[in-house]
Amino acid sequence: MSATSEAGPDGSSAASSPDPPSPAGGDASWPSRPGPAAGPGDGFLDDGSLSAPLGAADAGASVVFENVGHTYPLNGRGRGRGRGRGTEAVQDFSASLAPGSLVCLLGPSGCGKSTILNILAGFERPTKGRVLVGGREVAGPGPDRGVVFQEPNLLPWRRVVENITLGPDLAGKSKAGTLAAARRYLELTGLEGFENHAPYELSGGMRQRVALARAWISEPPILVMDEPFGALDAQTRITMQELLVSIWEKTGSTILFVTHDVDEALFLADRILIISPRPGRLALDVPSPLPRPRTYESLVVDPVHARLKREILLAMRQPDWVI
């Protein structure tokens, strides 16, 4: 698979699409959804290959990554890979997120996805480049960005409703307003009737619902999510994905969702940013052509879904897929 880089009209770097793999059986006719001819906005180029516009900033983007790089320093004993220079986790990562979009970072374990998320959340400072939120450079955590971690991290001594209201309580918000907001998110997450339960009385899926409500109760314009459903069983994971989309459609938040699961990315995302193995770089930027609402039952028989999944899997298995 090969790709070439070109300068866009704004001077940003853009890459042409990789050479498309041949469909199974050598049939040159790919299934396509009826309607206008496929183009970059449909996830495919005219030749049938994946769209890959790299590094271009969207007008009015709520989040912009500008040539972000991050290197972790050596440990105190000077051991480990990257001896003498540290471990480079992310390299020249540039991307932008449109307001209200749901974007997935997809890549193998250890490729730097969580580092990119932590930089946006303000938990890490990049060693190169910068991240802008609403036009301002990220210098640390802030109330404009909610975070959902891989583990719910609930406080065991607080009831469900008290875990949900933790942020507003610490910020000194009005009790009446906070409880009204908590009731809304208890309803949206299907936790009505469990508000007085302790975390140990909940299943893993229900604890993650509490974590979602806790992140959303302050209504941050941006939500960053680090594989929050990875530890759940398959059926519960699908339920949580459907719940996430339903709340996102009601709130209009911008979401950056980290995953290594292609099916999860295809179900959730408006765009899929595929990250190369470490050091993590943006290898492909794939707009999803799949319409909403989506269900797993409809996607498994959708030829466009099958084609897109196949292209992504083949791209990620190529030895020279990094652009």
Above 60 in pLDDT, residue 116?
A: yes
88-105 tens-digit pLDDT:
999 999 999 999 999 999
pLDDT at residue number 14: 38
> Residues 97-117: what's their mean pLDDT?
92
Tell me how far apart the alpha carbons of residues 48 and 67 are, in angstroms, rounded to a whole number: 29
So what's the architecture of 12-17+40-144+223-230+253-323 in CATH? 3-Layer(aba) Sandwich (3.40)
pLDDT at residue number 92: 94
pLDDT at residue number 60: 52
**pLDDT: which is higher, 99 or 46:** 99
Closest CA to 252 of 62, 57, 58: 62
132-153 tens-digit pLDDT:
999 999 999 998 999 999 899 9
Angle value at C-alpha 40, between 39 and 45, nearest 5 degrees:
60
> Residues 175-192: what's their mean pLDDT?
92
**% of residues, the chain, pLDDT over 70:** 76
Tell me how far apart the alpha carbons of residues 7 and 14 are, in angstroms, rounded to a whole number: 6
Domain ranges of the chain: 12-17+40-144+223-230+253-323, 150-219
End-to-end C-alpha distance for the chain, whole angstroms: 9
> Residues 2-8: what's their mean pLDDT?
37
226-255 tens-digit pLDDT:
999 988 889 999 999 999 999 999 989 999
166: which residues sit within 8 A by CB, 6+ positions away? 155, 158, 214
pLDDT at residue number 225: 95
> Residues 277-294: what's their mean pLDDT?
92
pLDDT at residue number 45: 44
Above 80 in pLDDT, residue 79?
A: no
pLDDT, the chain, mean? 80
**pLDDT: which is higher, 1 or 274:** 274
pLDDT at residue number 83: 52
In the chain, which ranges are E strands? 5-7, 13-15, 63-72, 87-97, 102-106, 128-133, 136-137, 145-148, 222-226, 254-259, 271-275, 282-287
SS3 content of the chain, % helix, strand, coil (to 5): 30, 20, 50
> Residues 174-196: what's their mean pLDDT?
92
pLDDT at residue number 321: 55
pTM score, two decimals? 0.78
Between the alpha carbon of residue 302 and those of residues 32, 73, 266, 307, 308, the distances in Å are 10, 46, 12, 9, 10
Between the alpha carbon of residue 250 and those of residues 244, 247, 259, 320, the distances in Å are 10, 5, 23, 41
264-280 tens-digit pLDDT:
999 999 999 999 888 88
141: which residues sit within 8 A by CB, 6+ positions away? 121, 122, 123, 147
